[in-house]
Amino acid sequence: MMKKTILLFACAMTLQGTLAQELPKWAGKARKAVFSVITYDKDGKILNTGNGFYISEDGTAVSDYSLFEGAARAVVVTAEGKELPVARILGANDMYDVVKFRTETDKKSAALTPASQPGTVGQTVYLLPYSTQKDLAGQHGSIVKVDTIGNNSFYYTLNMKTGDKTVSCPIMNEAGEVLGLIQKNVDDQSESSYAIGVNYARNLSISALSVNDATLQSIGIRKGLPDDESQALVYLFMASSQLDREMYLALLNEFIATYPKNSEGYSRRASLYIGMKDETHLKLAEEDLKKMLDVSDNKAEGHYDIAQQIYNYVLSLNGGQPYGNWTLDRALTEIDAALNIDNQGLYYQLQGDIYFAQQKYAEALASYDAVNRSPLASAASFYSAAKTKELIEGASKKEAIALMDSAVNRFITPYGRDAAPYLYERARMKSEDGQYREAVKDYNAFHDAMMGQVSAEFYVIREQAEMQCRMYKQAIDDINKAISMEPGNEAYWMEKGSVHLRVNQLEEAVKALQKAVELNPKDGAAYRMIGYAQILQKKKEEGLANLEKAKELGDTVAPGLIEKYQK
């Protein structure tokens, strides 16, 4: 009996030794790179749990995308039991169910070394599970098939049975290098399993266009920056309209920490702070603008940036009290500094805008003229000069129109929508200068440039110009078009009545004016015009009655007409 007991104990010891040797010696150290992952939803509830492992000492790690989909927060629990937050997502692919991310860490992370050569068919591989125990048991099998899925990226089929608890655990070669990570198996009873090559996961990245990537957007955790500085700049630009203020500020902070000599980061963060408008953040903005100027290689551009941001800030106040010396005078000082270094047209444009905001129109015009003598001259710059010329006391309207001619001449015929605003403004100026027929030509060109997609108000404005140059048929057509678009507009019926009166179409005038009265029974002017038209129709009694109604409603012209026609 004693011999039998000794034999059983020896067999047990042999079996235990076999299990302990199931993974090679390197597994004891390698296990420290494998961790557990816990993801949470936006309400702080656990969403998923799973595995992952570090591939770099800086805290870069990989896992399965499924764990992170819909997550607002995530942590990893290391083999030592330490909990570390996931700081940012570095790339994701939903088709191969893999994600790359970086965790916060206060020291170098224990990381697995990616295999220098891909796995080969028949090669023995080891599954390294997550474990908090020093005694580590695992699985081993062999590679059955190797598929190439990209540049130096592979997909492995293994003769190894795995389950949900081993998803995203690393597959190692005999040298202790990681080949890939286990993927979820559709068939729990299958004797085969699959692994995505680690190089595919390593090569995941954030690009300038990743801000619109649906896979990445499905993860609520902050995304990292592209590795390339120029790509990171584009990413910042695109993210500004996609992220909320808090996440965008975190992204800006990361960009500044990564590229401290790039002035764009400070400029964009200053702009974000300015938008908050409280004194604390405006002070931070001032500091960022100073730092931006300090690191900027182009000092003129730096001064321009400061001037632009202060100018926009002052305009946003709508007359309110500015912060410190953040005034138009300060903006002017900054743009003058830029012009002293480099007299670019762009800088003159902003200088003109600042003068215009200060209502210093002569100075603004001089700045816009400088723009128009530069390569930056455009329809917009000539328009700015024309509008400013109009506001200078005693200035010639014809000189303003000449500047609008230069603006319109920047376009070719047939005019498109981009020319339409300038045609409209030139028409307005010509009409105000008494050049009604020329104004109508521009209104026609505007109508064509807009492909007829204009408002009822436009037809009324053109009709008024047409009446001034006796284009009565066109005027009547236009007022009728306006009314067809807005039949409930009393003013348009009044205008129609006025047009018909002007051309002595009295019956049509009365009908139009009566429609105006239906829409507004208290419009004294409408009753007065009806009464006047009826008197011209020889309907004196009816006409005087409507004039009396107009007088009762407070019309100041009606009493004179009553006195005149009662005789």
Question: Does the pLDDT of residue 107 top 70, yes or no?
Answer: yes
Of 14-18, 99-103, 450-454, the one with minimum mean pLDDT is: 14-18
| Of 490, 489, 436, 486, residue with least CA distance to 463 | 436
Of 63-77, 177-191, 421-435, 449-463, the one with minimum mean pLDDT is: 177-191
**pLDDT per position as a tens digit, 298-354:** 999 999 999 999 999 999 998 889 999 999 999 999 999 999 999 999 999 999 999
Residue type at 249 in one-letter notation: L
* CATH class of the domain at 124-202: mainly beta
Question: Does the pLDDT of residue 430 top 80, yes or no?
Answer: yes
Which residues are paired to 325 by β-bridges? none
| Of 35, 58, 54, residue with least CA distance to 104 | 58
> How would you label 147-167 residue by residue, b for 16+ Cβ within 10 Å and e otherwise?
eeeeeebbbbebebbbeeebb
Rounded Cα gap, residues 255 and 292, in angstroms: 13
Question: Does the pLDDT of residue 1 top 70, yes or no?
Answer: no
Strands (E), 409-490: none
DSSP letter string over 246-262?
A: HHHHHHHHHHHHH-TT-
Question: Does the pLDDT of residue 92 top 60, yes or no?
Answer: yes
Question: Does the pLDDT of residue 125 top 70, yes or no?
Answer: yes
**pLDDT per position as a tens digit, 384-415:** 999 999 999 988 999 999 999 999 999 999 99
pLDDT of residue 189: 78
Residue type at 373 in one-letter notation: R
Of 224-228, 306-310, 361-365, 475-479, the one with minimum mean pLDDT is: 224-228
Question: CB under 8 Å to 413, separation ≥6 — which residues?
Answer: none
Question: Does the pLDDT of residue 179 top 60, yes or no?
Answer: yes
Question: Does the pLDDT of residue 131 top 90, yes or no?
Answer: no
Which residue reads 């927060």 in tokens? 73
How far is residue 444 from each of residues 208, 415, 466, 563, measured CA to CA in Å?
A: 45, 11, 11, 44
pLDDT of residue 74: 97
Provide mean pLDDT across the span 50-76: 96
Provide mean pLDDT across the span 113-133: 91
Question: For all residues of the chain together, what is the average pLDDT?
Answer: 92
Provide mean pLDDT across the span 181-188: 87
Q: pTM for this one? A: 0.76
Asked if 198 contacts 62 with a C-beta cutoff of 8 angstroms, the reply is yes
Question: Does the pLDDT of residue 17 top 60, yes or no?
Answer: no
Question: Does the pLDDT of residue 462 top 80, yes or no?
Answer: yes
Asked if 96 contacts 203 with a C-beta cutoff of 8 angstroms, the reply is no
Percent of the chain at pLDDT exceeding 90 = 84
pLDDT of residue 135: 63
**pLDDT per position as a tens digit, 504-528:** 999 999 999 999 999 999 999 999 9
Provide mean pLDDT across the span 153-181: 94
Q: Which two tokens stand for residue 422?
A: 């300038």
Question: Does the pLDDT of residue 207 top 70, yes or no?
Answer: yes
Question: Does the pLDDT of residue 186 top 90, yes or no?
Answer: no
Rounded Cα gap, residues 471 and 437, in angstroms: 9
Question: Does the pLDDT of residue 13 top 70, yes or no?
Answer: no
Question: Does the pLDDT of residue 136 top 80, yes or no?
Answer: no
Asked if 71 contacts 41 with a C-beta cutoff of 8 angstroms, the reply is yes
**pLDDT per position as a tens digit, 537-562:** 999 999 999 999 999 999 999 999 99
H or E, element range at 167: none
Question: Does the pLDDT of residue 19 top 50, yes or no?
Answer: no
